[in-house]
Every structure is written in C-alpha cells, then in structure tokens.
Structure 1
Amino acid sequence: MRLRAVLPVVALAAVCGAAIGGYITRDQWVAHVFPSQADEKSAAAHAGESHDHAHADRVKLSPQAQANLGLDVDTLRPTEYWRKLLIPGVVVDRPGESDRGVTTKAGGVVTEIKARPGDTVKAGDPLFTIQLASEFLQSAQVELAKAASERKFAVDRRDRVAALVATGTKPGLELTDEENQVRRLTNQVQAYRRQLQVFGLTSAQLDRAERGDVVTEVSVVVPARAAEPIPALVPDTTLYEVQELKVQLGEAVTSGQTLCLLANHQHLFVEGRAFKSEAKALARLAEKRVPIEVQFADEQPGDWPAVPPLAVHHLSNQVDAATRTFAFYLPLENRADTFNRDGQKHFVWRFRPGQRVRLKVPVEKLVTLAPDGKTEVLPFVLPVGAVVREGPEAFVFVQSGDVFVRKAVRVLYEDRAEVVLANDGSVTEADFVVKNHATALNRALKAAAGGEGGHAGHDHAGHDHSH
C-alpha cells in the first residue's frame, strides 16, 4: 500500500525535472526539433540588426542644431584642378624700369639741392645746381664765343663780296672762297655747342656762351621717361619719387658721379626661389604661360582689387651656392593711392620691394579616369572642412531634409584650404553636400549611435553574418 502511494509522487517529480531541464537547454535542441521556428527567430534578429546597419551612417538634426552649426550646403561641380607647389617669394624692383640713378655730366660743387627724399618730381624738373669747376668747360665756352664772332665777320665779308660779284667787279671764285670760310666756321661753332651740350648746358646757356657770357653753373634735371610699354594702372606714371640722395650740399662732384636715386614702382617683379630639380617644370609653365596664383603678405581682404594670376617671365640661369636654389620672375603691375601735400602729389604704393609673397605653382593636373580607362573626368573641389577622416577612410555628409547621410569618398589631394575628391560616383552633382563642419556632424552621428564605437550596445563579435 505504501509503495502505491509513493509511485505517483515520484512520477510527478520526474516530469517536472524533465520539463525544467528542457527549458534550460532549449537553445541546444529547439533548432533540431523545430528548425522552422529557429530560422524565423534568426531572421527576425538579423532583420533588426539590418535595420540598425541601415541607419548607422545617418543622423537627423533639428533646424535649431543646423542653424547653430551654420552649415553651408550646395551641389558639386566638376572643376579643373592642378596640384600646386607652395614656393616662397618676394617683391623686387624690375631692373631698368623701377629705379634709376641721376648723374652729373660736369664736375663742380653742389650749390643747391632742389628735391629731397619723398618729393615727387617729373621729367624736366630741376634736382641740383652744380657750380662748374672745370677749366676745360671754361676754355670751350671761350672758343665757342671766338668761333661765333669770327663766323659773324666771315658772313659780313661774304655778303660784301657777293654784292661785288653781282656788279661784276669781283670774280665769282672769291665768293666761293668766302662761302667756304663761313661754312667752316659754322661747323666749328656747331661742334663746340654739341661738346658743351654733352656736359649739361641747355640751349639757352649755349646761346649765352656764344654771345661771350660764360656760364658758371648748370642745373641737373629729371631725365625723360621712356614710353609706357603697357597701360598704366596709376594716375600718372611719369612721376618719380626721390628715393635717396647720394651727395650733400657743398660737396665736390666729378663728371659721371651719381647724385640721387629716383624710383617709380609701377613695374615690379615677383621673385620666386626654386630648386634645380624644378627647373624643367617651371620652364614648361613659362613656355605655355600657365597662370600662377600669388598670395601677398600683410594685406587685408577687400583693401585692394584681387590680383589676377601671373605668368613666369624668365628663369635665372644661376644657382645660389648657399641655398642651392635659383630665381624665377613674374611681372607685376603695381597700383597706388595718391594724396596731395604742399602742392605736391605723393604715392602710396600697394606693392613694395621686399614684401613677402607665396606662389602656388601648378605642377600636376588631377583627374579621374572613366570606366573606359581613357576619358578624363574632372574632380570635385571642396573646402577642407567638408571632409572628416577616420583612419584610412574619408567621409562627406549629404543632406536630405533634416537627415545628413555620411558617404565614403576618395581623396585625390588635400592642402590646408582645399580637398580634391575623385568623381567616381560616391557623390554626384545631384547631391547636396555639406561644405563645412563635417567633424561636428560626425560627432553628432556617433552620439546618436550611442558611443564612439558607432552602434549602441551592439557587438559584431557575438554573431555570424555568414548565412
């Protein structure tokens, strides 16, 4: 009787134990007993996982967040782009045009200085007065006066003989002799005048010397400027500025000595320095007149009109032994503001010798090849703030309403200001690409995903994607 009472209890305990064990080990036997249910659960799990993956590279921003970032969004356009080499340079005078020295043609003593550094002068304006101290010039003037006097007497004698020849009282041969004498003396007078003119005497002073009034001082004036080879960019390019005095008042000077330096900075050069290995590329640029962008130091945007790209004028054929570089030159046309003071016009030049510049020399055209492998496709050029990097990957953000989608791109070239993207279909001309704050958008993307890892609480190591 006791055994019969115990058997139901034991059976019930065994069934309960089996049920509990089956529940605990369900993950090991359900897939074999009910394979369709396991597949449904796995598909559901992967469906949820795929949903997470589909939104891992996009973030939604409120209008307020977009306004706070100040996003610049625009479509792309293929652009011709050359990889540029940054080369330092400096503004220099153009020899033979920017500066010129003024010399004295006659020796003497400086008795007056009529223009000083900072003064503006034009061709013909007096600069110095020189008191002559040359015995040669004194004797030449005396000889000129003597020859002029003799010519006057010869002319009178010729005229009297001509009158007698006309009446038949003198033979014509005597008139010929008198005319030859006048011609000889005239040539002698002209020779003395030209000789004295070389030493700086003006036509009025030569006339005085002919009359016997010896000239004791000469004026040194601003020489005439050659005709402008190109249109001027300043109001009056015939004006010079006295840059430096080379003599003092009362100083004795000799013929050919430099008295002062005049400057006109209308025409300048930009001098760049390059290594010998770059000479061939620069020669090609000069031959094809390829434009080179020049950035000028110490200028505020908007102060002056933009300078168009310049072309290489010529290359130096000498290498500096210390720096192992050679010079190349780009012609630069200057601009100036003017102001008047004390009746004189003064220039304030935009570009000045010694001013530092930076040259962006194009060395390689960046393109992408089409699928046919022959057609060149122009790249997209964006500000450097449009791209964010994560290891070897580079991304841009494309806007679609309030959603910003991150897209991987291939970078062809990047400098401090611009980034060049391959036009390979990763982004197209139809996309609205964000041109700034890509780093901030990437941080917002990671924050929305729940962490720097990119997926909130999601571990790829715990499951297999093979099926």
Structure 2
Amino acid sequence: MPALLLVGWLTAGWWLPGLSALAFGADSAADAAGEDPHAGHDHGVAAAGEVVRLSDQARGTIGLRTAEVRLTDFDRAVTVPGVVTQRPGRSDLQVSAPMTGVITDVFVTEGQAVRPGDPLFVMRLTHEDIVRAQTEFLKTLEALDVEEREIARLRNVSGGVVAGKVVLEREYEKQKLEGLLKAQREALRLHGLEEAQVARIASDRSLVREIRILVPEPHDPAEPGHDGRHDLFAREAVAEPRTPSAGVSARRISLQDAAGSEVWPPLTVERLTAHAGDAVSANAPLAELSDLSLLYVEGRAFERDAAAVAAAAREDRRVTALPTDNLAGPSDPVAGLEIAFVANRVTADSRVLPFYVLLPNEVASDRRQGSGGERFLTWKYKPGQRMRLRVPVETFREAIVLPVEAVAEAGAERYAFVENGATFERRPVRVLYRDAESVVIADDGSLLPGESVAVSAAHQLQMALKNAAGGAVDPHAGHNH
C-alpha cells in the first residue's frame, strides 16, 4: 500500500487533470493546470484606474462619436414657443371693384402665383355714373372740335369782315372747353379707367364698355421714393422713409418669370370672392392676395422670460427659430433673425408677452401646370406653423461647448472622456451652463484645445468604468468555455 501511494503521488501530474476534467468540467481542469480560461478573450471593455478601453465593436454598439475641443463663444438663450403669422398691413392685399359692373372673365385660380400687372378679371361696366361721365367727356370733345373749326374759319375770312373781338370770344370759349375736358378726364381716371382707356375714348370717340382689373403692386410706405406714388397733398402725410434692415431686405424672395425678368415679390391668390357672371357693386371685394416672402414669428414669452426678451430686442440680439413640425419636411434652425418689436400688452387669457421676429421665407416648390402654364408656389414656412424661438440673453466668451451627451454625472462631479488611441481617460470638468442641447465647460485646463473628446455616450463610458473598477458586474458572466 505505501508503494502504491508513492507511485500515485509521483504520477499525479499525468492523471489528475484528466480526472478533474471528468468530475468538474473543462474550466476546472484548466484552473488545475494553472491556465487562464479567459486568456485571449476580448470582452470590449477593460479598465485601469480612470481609463476605459473600448473595442471597435463596443464603439459601434454604443454609437460613440468624437470631436476636437475648440474654444468658441456661446449664447445662453431662453426658449419660448412661437407661431408663424402674416404681417398685418403688408402680407395681405385686397382687390376691390372700382365701380359697379358684371364680371365676365376670371383669369386666375386660388393658389396661383401672380405678379403685379397680371390680369385678374374683366368687368363689363353698368354703373350709370361712369356711363354719364364718358358721355359728357365725348360731348365736350365734340364741342371743342366745333369751336376749333369755327376759329379756323373765322381767321380765314378775308377783308376784315369779322372783327377781332369775335375771334377773341371764340378763343375764350375754347379755353373753357379745354378746362372742362381736363376735369372730365381726371374724373374718368378717378372712376377707375386707365390712362390708355381715356386716350382711346378721345381717339376713337367711343365709350369704354369693359375694363381690366389687374394685380396691384405691393409696396412699403416706408420705402425711399414712396411719396412719388401719391398726389401732392397726400405726400405731406407720408412719413420720412426709414432705412430698411440690411439683413432682411437682402433676403427677400426674388424669382424670375418665363422670360427671365425679375418678379419681386411673388404674390399668391388666397381667395376668389367673385366669379364669372357675378354682378358686383363699387368697392366690393373680388380677390385676396398674399405676399408670403416675409413673415413674422409671433413669440410668446412667459413672465419669467419677458425681461430677457425685452433686453434682447433693446440690444439687437439675433434670434434663432427652430421648426417643431414637419409641414415642409425636415428643417434646419434659422439663425440671425431680427426682433421687429415687442408688444405693449400682455394677453389676458394666457398671460404671455407677444413679440415678433422677422422671418424671410423660402420657396420649396415652383411648378407650372395647365394649358396656360399657371404658376404655383409652395412656401417653406406657412402661417400657423409652430416654432421654438431661442432668444440669447448672455454670451460666454472663449468657452468649450459640447453636446449634453458628452458629459457624465456622478453625484456633484461632472466628467468628460478624452480619447487616447483605443482608450478614453475620464477627466472632471466645471460646467458653467447647461440646457437641453449643449453644455458649456470652463476653459480651466481640464480639457485642452485640440484634444479629442467623446461627444456622445458619456453615460455608457461612465457605467463601463464604474462596473470594471467596482466589480459590480462580472464581465465573463454568461460565457461558456
């Protein structure tokens, strides 16, 4: 027996691993042989102190992205809701009947894009005043012709038979008729006839039975040279022209027609209130046109933000608009918008302070259809569309700005992860400001310009470091060796 025990002890290195494998499995045998069962395995995350190592697979799994640290200025802003609206007195144009008549032709449809000077309607005149005014104009023309012929005849009479006094009286009568004719001509223009139509009455000696109603030309009374559109007495009421905002006027929409001529601004037929065959009275609405090339975003500042909005308007800080719906497809933020004015009263129901931001519009679609090549525009921003307005209230100079996903939290500490090859080093940082999208980090040496940092998945990196260092999770759990 002692001899057998001695032989077994001497040969244990040969038969003991096999026996352990049969009794406890391959992992126990490897342990008994002094081998690491996890040698050569890469589980994606390993840690050593404040450093996290990631495999390429782990980077892709957690969606890790990196970016270079840069110093930049950042505007701290308040975000308020807003809605796109038209500019009262500027966006809407009403087309009315200049006199009583019957609509015989309609040249446009709702939604069609038109330009100033395009025909909208043809109207047959039935107003007694315009018929009477034309008739009196024709009578005066005929009387003036008779007077001119008579003066010419008297001057041709020889021998001094006709005294010069008679010719002089005829000259006076001619001047009276010319004055009456001028007054009647202006009366016809006031009734709505064009200068060419008045000239045609004088040349053809026939009444105008139909008139065209054209697209009016929109204009801003504050534009330089606007007073030239008005009569002398009306010009006195026109205010001194102001200098338009360079940032806004330069971004107004400018299109081209089929001939390549510039059309500014394009108008849209919003509604037709008259149809072929309708009998309309003077000043009756016929159509509503809209100029959507420049709109407002009506912001609604709550009490806590009202002072910041007023200060931003006073200091001419530029606003950023962020569309919150997909009415025109995905839209990028619109930066550099000007606050036009802040309202002087708070709404009674919602207790918000309205303010208005100028929004230059964009044409999303421009197409022609139909046999006449009617033009239809689709605008990118539409009245009623909801937006969020970011109003800057403070500027951080020479700061590090990262996405919120780039900073992890652990109690009172905040951390960023600096890339170094396949590893990421955790560094504590001091946060100056944070909102829903960005975080501002002080330039105090914790992060250096030019370094590459993780700008996403910082929370996952933090959890990986915590688990690897504290052993809360067995990295080999679930492996079958």
So what's the TM-score if we normalise by structure 2? Answer: 0.73
Structure 1 range deviating more: 187-196 or 201-210: 201-210
1:223 to 206, 212, 216: 216
Which position in structure 2 is the counterpart of 1:120?
A: 113
- SS of equivalent to 2:282: coil
Which position in structure 2 is the counterpart of 1:200?
A: 192
Change (3 A) 1:404 1:202: closer
Change (3 A) 1:146 1:301: closer
Change (3 A) 1:148 1:300: closer
Any runs of at least 4 consecutive aligned residues in structure 1 with deviations exceeding 6 A, and if so which? Answer: 300-306
CA distance in 2 between partners of 1:70 and 1:134 (Å) = 76
2:179 to 176, 179, 187: 187
Which position in structure 1 is the counterpart of 2:90?
A: 97
TM-aligned CA deviation for residue 171 of structure 1: 4.8
Which position in structure 1 is the counterpart of 2:381?
A: 351
Q: Is the 8 A contact 1:200 1:220 kept in 2?
A: no
Change (3 A) 1:82 1:304: closer
Q: Is the 8 A contact 1:234 1:335 kept in 2?
A: no
Q: What letter matches 2:359 in structure 1?
A: L
Q: What letter matches 1:103 in structure 2?
A: S
Change (3 A) 1:398 1:256: same
TM-aligned CA deviation for residue 410 of structure 1: 1.9
Q: Is the 8 A contact 1:142 1:212 kept in 2?
A: no
Change (3 A) 1:301 1:221: closer
Q: Is the 8 A contact 1:394 1:411 kept in 2?
A: yes
Q: What letter matches 1:198 in structure 2?
A: L
1:244 to 245, 266, 271: 271
2:346 to 319, 338, 347: 319
Change (3 A) 1:206 1:66: closer
1:290 to 313, 317, 339: 317
Residue 341 (1) aligns with residue 375 (2): no
Structure 1 range deviating more: 116-125 or 210-219: 210-219
CA distance in 1 between partners of 2:165 and 2:345 (Å) = 70
**Matched residues, number:** 389
Q: What letter matches 2:336 in structure 1?
A: P
- SS of equivalent to 1:317: coil
CA distance in 2 between partners of 1:102 and 1:300 (Å) = 29
Which position in structure 1 is the counterpart of 2:425?
A: 405
- SS of equivalent to 2:52: strand
TM-aligned CA deviation for residue 177 of structure 1: 2.8
Change (3 A) 1:417 1:101: same
CA distance in 2 between partners of 1:135 and 1:300 (Å) = 50
TM-aligned CA deviation for residue 318 of structure 1: 2.8
Change (3 A) 1:93 1:324: same
CA distance in 2 between partners of 1:299 and 1:85 (Å) = 23
TM-aligned CA deviation for residue 212 of structure 1: 5.0
Q: What letter matches 1:296 in structure 2?
A: P
Which position in structure 2 is the counterpart of 1:132?
A: 125
Superposed, 1:367-446 pairs within 5 Å as: 378-429=398-449, 431-446=451-466
1:256 to 283, 288, 310: 283
CA distance in 2 between partners of 1:302 and 1:353 (Å) = 16
Residue 157 (1) aligns with residue 157 (2): no
CA distance in 1 between partners of 2:332 and 2:433 (Å) = 29
Structure 1's unaligned 5+ residue stretches are 1-53, 368-377, 454-467
- SS of equivalent to 1:318: coil
Deviations 1:97-149 (A, max 9, x none): 32201001101333332322123333233222333332222222221111111
Residue 106 (1) aligns with residue 99 (2): yes
Deviations 1:329-366 (A, max 9, x none): 22222121311112122212111111111111111224
Q: What letter matches 2:173 in structure 1?
A: Q
Q: Is the 8 A contact 1:88 1:272 kept in 2?
A: yes
Q: Is the 8 A contact 2:78 2:305 kept in 1?
A: no
Deviations 1:398-446 (A, max 9, x none): 2233332222222222222111112223323254322111111112112
Structure 2's unaligned 5+ residue stretches are 1-46, 224-243, 256-262, 474-481
Structure 1 range deviating more: 225-234 or 345-354: 225-234
Structure possessing the higher radius of gyration over alpha carbons: 1
Q: What letter matches 1:358 in structure 2?
A: R
- SS of equivalent to 2:464: helix
Change (3 A) 1:439 1:301: farther
Which position in structure 1 is the counterpart of 2:139?
A: 146
Which position in structure 2 is the counterpart of 1:176?
A: 168
TM-aligned CA deviation for residue 222 of structure 1: 1.4
- SS of equivalent to 1:116: coil
Residue 267 (1) aligns with residue 294 (2): yes
- SS of equivalent to 1:130: strand
CA distance in 1 between partners of 2:318 and 2:415 (Å) = 32
So what's the TM-score if we normalise by structure 1? Answer: 0.75
Q: Is the 8 A contact 1:237 1:264 kept in 2?
A: no
TM-aligned CA deviation for residue 163 of structure 1: 4.0
Which position in structure 2 is the counterpart of 1:61?
A: 54
Change (3 A) 1:280 1:217: same
CA distance in 2 between partners of 1:117 and 1:404 (Å) = 61
CA distance in 2 between partners of 1:452 and 1:257 (Å) = 81
- SS of equivalent to 2:120: strand
- SS of equivalent to 2:134: helix
CA distance in 2 between partners of 1:267 and 1:237 (Å) = 12
TM-aligned CA deviation for residue 65 of structure 1: 3.2
Q: Is the 8 A contact 1:193 1:206 kept in 2?
A: yes
- SS of equivalent to 1:353: coil
Change (3 A) 1:203 1:398: closer
Which position in structure 1 is the counterpart of 2:231?
A: none
Deviations 1:242-295 (A, max 9, x none): 210123443332211211101231121222112466454334323433221111
Which position in structure 1 is the counterpart of 2:468?
A: 448
- SS of equivalent to 2:193: coil
Which position in structure 1 is the counterpart of 2:75?
A: 82
